[in-house]
Amino acid sequence: MQNETPSPTKLPVVSSTSVPQALKPPVDPATLTHRQLRRDRFWAHIPAYANIDEATFIDHKWQSKHTITNVDKLLNTVQSLVSPEFYADVAEGFQRSPMSIRVSPYLLSLIDWQNPYQDPLRIQFIPVRTKQLPDHPKLGLDSLGERADAPTPGLTHRYVDKALFLALDTCPVYCRFCTRSYAVGVDTPQVEKFTLRVNEERWAKAFAYIASRHELEDIVISGGDSYNLRPAQIREIGDALLGMDHIRRMRFATKGPAVMPQKLLSDHEWVDALTYVVEKGRKLGKDVMLHTHFNHPKEITGITQDAIQVLFSRGVFVRNQSVLIRGVNDSVEVMGQLLKRLAYVNVHPYYVYIHDMVQGTEDMRTTLGEALRIEKTMRGSTAGFNTPMFVMDAPGGGGKRDAHSYEHYNPVTGVSVYAAPAVKPGQLFYYFDPIDRLPPEGQARWADPAEHDKMLEEARQAVLAKR
């Protein structure tokens, strides 16, 4: 990392006589803030990291060894940066959370500890009791019904030509809003996990099923997180799936580049294994990509840019899938900055998910209406291939639907209804806005349990009336 502080982007000098008459006024280079990536020693403000040099900080082994895995480690790391009241708030927050704590030094260093309650990274990874809200009455732990569509543990076959292979149940960090909080990480006071550990027999059954279903062409390798697979396991999965003639596309899913980009800079064996699978696939005329998960422009630094460049130079294509999160990226300004910064470092925005209904995260969800407003405003602000689709992963197993494609939406009750004719014809799937974001009339109805089924029936009848 060269400079200590972000510097404005320098534009090439062009002779004024060669510039055609502009139809639009030029943009002030100082406003192109998505190009201003942090390359300072931003980790040095953390007391425990004050004397850590750059070479140590970009070592993935050091990052893993010093990852925060309990509340006491958090306190010992940030020390006087947090008040005793905030520490107590965090401790109680994790007691009520379905996810255990796991935060990398990289992430921890990017949090504004002078204003932790409003910080977008703190919101994603460290719960505080005072911000938590009661779960929605219609919430379920496995809200997407992945296990109901699993012919064998850890393999979800929902779409005709695509399957999701959950290879393992650990990640480099644990997100509060994880859709798979029913399985990912260790048990918590709130959730006893459904195990999906790496297991030779379980993997063999998944590969046997994929080999037997010739309609399958597309496999997502996730978990957990493929970042936590050993290089030999990356190669094993790649060889097994690429060896099946009908498999044409593979996607390794990982949040790793967003939370521990150092691995791409220092774990050469892992990067070599991924490159091996990508290159083997290309020789066979098959598509192998990396899908990652950035939610806020603050997560993208000069370290990120260097890490993604390692993949880019090897021909590894990277797509991003974000989640729309209250207080994190639920504004046009932040979402616009995120998309442009992703594109600047050669990560293509692909999806923005409407926040799933996950236990313990009601304070993180937005309304469908807010999502539609942001998407409508964003479209046209950058190239189409760098403009993500806003999608609803329909609760109950309907799969991903364009957020705009609802059959019915009532912003007063917060009930939206989706159909998935290509996935589960004839069924309707319901999503529910967070109650605290509804108008008083809607909040009053949800406060009365006798009204719950009535609101669903009203939504169903509204759909039927259109058919």
pLDDT at 322 over 80: yes
Mean pLDDT value of segment 97-112? 89
Q: Which has the minimum average pLDDT: 183-187, 226-230, 283-287, 408-412?
A: 183-187
Tokens encoding 369: 């209406």
Rounded distance between C-alpha atoms, residue 138 and residue 363, angstroms: 15
Backbone angles phi, psi at 447, to 5 degrees: -70, -15
pLDDT at 84 over 90: yes
Q: Is 167 helix (H, G, I), strand (E, B) or coil?
A: coil
DSSP readout, 198-232?
--HHHHHHHHHHHHH-TT--EEEEESS-GGGS-HH
Look at strands 318-324 and 162-166 and give their pairing: unpaired
Rounded distance between C-alpha atoms, residue 326 and residue 176, angstroms: 13
- What is the chain's Cα-based Rg? 23
pLDDT in tens, 191-220: 443 467 788 999 999 999 999 999 999 999
- Mean pLDDT for all residues in the chain: 90
pLDDT in tens, 160-176: 999 999 999 888 888 88
Question: Which amino acid, one-letter code, is at 427?
Answer: Q
**Residue 294, Cβ neighbours under 10 Å: how many?**
24
Rounded distance between C-alpha atoms, residue 116 and residue 120, angstroms: 8
pLDDT in tens, 19-62: 777 778 888 888 999 999 999 999 999 999 999 999 999 999 99
* CA torsion through residues 223, 226, 230, 235, sign: positive
DSSP readout, 214-283?
TT--EEEEESS-GGGS-HHHHHHHHHHHHTSTT--EEEEE-SHHHH-THHHHH-HHHHHHHHHHHHHHHH
Residues sharing a CB contact under 8 Å with residue 339, sequence separation 6 or more, in sequence order: 349, 378, 381, 382, 386, 387, 388
Compute the residue count for the chain. 467
Question: Which amino acid, one-letter code, is at 65?
Answer: K
Rounded distance between C-alpha atoms, residue 283 and residue 297, angstroms: 35
Angle separating helix axes 368-378 and 332-344, nearest 10 degrees: 50
